Structure 1
């Protein structure tokens, strides 16, 4: 089949959604499909890249940063994609479109359906459907409410990443047979434990975009409390990633003399593996998630996670076995959980059971996820 994939973010742009598109596109191409991805160009990247059954087209729409975007950039991508694809689809026929995000991917897919009768499968990544993150996304959801509903209802299928996301979508659209859960995956054969390089000094990591959704300020407050309560305990903290809150975080660290903390920015896949393998614990105080790829990678690397009960994590973290849950926006609870882990697991050289990590790999490998998408595509073709 000839498959068109729309996503305004594709590595090196964006976070989890771009990574998902990369592996899904590559996996479907490996299965023999002819796959074309239409995404956004960024400095240093090729405008057109071809790899056997896979073609990446990068459009020169507006994009300033790799790690964040804004509505104007989404509109720019949408306009460029409509213009490019109007001509491209006049010369190239596709069987189905996989559109990421209701806006801008679904917006473009709806346009193509109306103009070329191209069916599309819509993939939601959380915040694009009301009322995910209601505080931060309220205005956006209010303005786009009816248009997003139209985009969803015109899709052949609507893919959600978790059961919590499906519940939210069902409230928005009403229960229907179109909605289906297909989880995020991760390169779980690449991420594995290496206890030989595990840090002897208590090492804590934070991974992800530094924005309000991830609540990194609560993380820093927790580290401050942990340090104050345990003045003789030697530990280090690595913060991996970047984002709009970084300057505020650096200011907080400097003001509170948290010399244990280092900001490492975005790292290569190879360096991320070493960080996961050498760390003792990861803190994830997110207010909301779709489904965190970083969680899958770190758990597969044998890391223990202290997390809030966000979508996706509740399916993979087993309390007391490979992680613990803490309340939202509660730095004291995180500090207490850190001390408990230090005393009862770190000092006793605790390791996560192999069967837990194997179960994770069996369900969330990209091979398994790609097969689910392949079945959905074939099912939609036969409707």
Structure 2
């Protein structure tokens, strides 16, 4: 015994470090489990088979009465021709996208030996394959959700530019694990294309990694916008069209108006601003309520960020998924291609075994399947507001609401009130 009553340690022995109350964020590296060769082969085979079916459905394009491929053949091609002459669409009510969308719409020019439609679809398939490879490398469960979930939307993903946008967001989230500047730069580029990829930075833990990611996002977005402003005219004309949008029939507010119309409300649907929207009494009030709900969602996310104290390996993934869910359900639109975003983010969540989003992520699968019934298969019923159309929207949006409630509750409990 020493004079102070402390027994000295034997020579060469060291005290074990005190366990931390909350394990520090490690970028998710401890949870990265690469797929086995058999898993990769099976995933590749299923990807090839399902994408071949999706491509065949797009070429035939006889599902429902929608003409899914027409968006690429006519609208995207018309925008491409304007952009190729150095000008963004002006006074075009259908052009409602940030200027970075020009990168995707002009990309078929890299394949001049193909038609615009062929080149666009091929680029979408390449982006799809990139997402699949990235997810398989990060965690095979996420790869399976993406590979099996995307075909639930039938041929729609191949004829919209949401898969390339989702690819940027997925790569941004996965890069944040070990290269926050790269992740931030990708998120900034994604934000100039479709805005929502910026939400991938919401859950980055406090510290130098977050500052590096946000700094890189601002720098990349500013640099790309500067290039587009200098290289094109009418770069910011899309802002004029955003404010004029109404309540699209597939939105949460649109579902309420569908039910109200069946109960005697005198409103009707009209094709305007590139979509079917409601016109009639109280539509403007429903639109304002949607905007208020979006503002409330933003405030809740800010509150979560301020109150959050516990970051785990999956927190950045979980926060991005919950945030996009919130902004989706409060949107005045909720187009079926929004499910592409949610499938991608849900898949990223499942790459980490510490995710708390598994129930909400799996709910995206039936939501996508019901969305495909609503569009393109039974879209005439949705537009007409028949009992079948109303039921499809009630089920689809009900599933979205349930997934959002689960995601927000679990995100709050995991980061603010764990245990």
What TM-score comes out, normalization by structure 1 length?
Answer: 0.29
Tell me which protein shows more strand as a share of its residues: 1
Tell me which protein shows more helix as a share of its residues: 2
Answer 1 or 2: higher relative contact order, Cα 8 Å, separation at least 6: 2
State which structure, 1 or 2, has the greater radius of gyration over its C-alpha atoms: 2
What TM-score comes out, normalization by structure 2 length?
Answer: 0.27
